[in-house]
Amino acid sequence: MSLLRDRLLGLSVVTLLLSGTLLAVVLGYGALVLGSAFVTGASVVGAAFELAVPWVPLAGVALLGAVFGSVGFVYALARRASVPRGGRVQRLAEFAERTYPPLRKLGLSEAVSEPEPSPEEKAQDALEDLKRRYVAGEIDEREFERRVDRLVANDSVDDARAERERRETLREGRY
């Protein structure tokens, strides 16, 4: 979703612009009326009272629109922000959730936790570790080959188990 296609962001910007413009016009008109009353020597309090009746509710609505537009704009941008993932941020989020239980509903710790590696990534990491240990001389060639064979066998066992579960699910008609 591109930045321009985000409806909340667009609605917030339009609301903020319209209410901000309306608020600027109302405040400018009020300042003009009060300034002219002050310059001409008329009662500033009387002018303010006459001005307050029709324009204060309009200014309140404009201010309310500006606040909602600003909050929506910040929320839309924050929703699109890139959140760092990692152990430190996850521990901080978990601490915040323990300290302030209502934060648990937001699911912050899950949002910033590192994703679980896929089985392929785990197997690749294990193979890289075996290669590193073999090159470093920690294990001999025979041990290296034995462990690689076991790693390949585990992958094929996992694949066979997943295929069997998929067939059983299809046979039972769950999907």
The model scores a pTM over 0.85: no
**Local structure of 133: helix, strand or coil:** helix
Residue given tokens 């067939």 in the structure block: 167
Phi-psi domain of 107 (left: phi exceeds 0; alpha: psi -120 through 50; beta: other): left
List the pLDDT tens digit at each of the 175 positions of the chain: 455 567 888 888 899 999 989 888 888 888 888 888 888 888 878 877 777 777 888 888 888 999 989 888 888 887 777 666 667 777 888 888 889 888 788 777 777 777 777 777 777 888 888 888 888 888 888 888 888 888 777 655 566 566 667 667 766 665 4
Residues 6+ apart with CB under 8 A from 18: 65
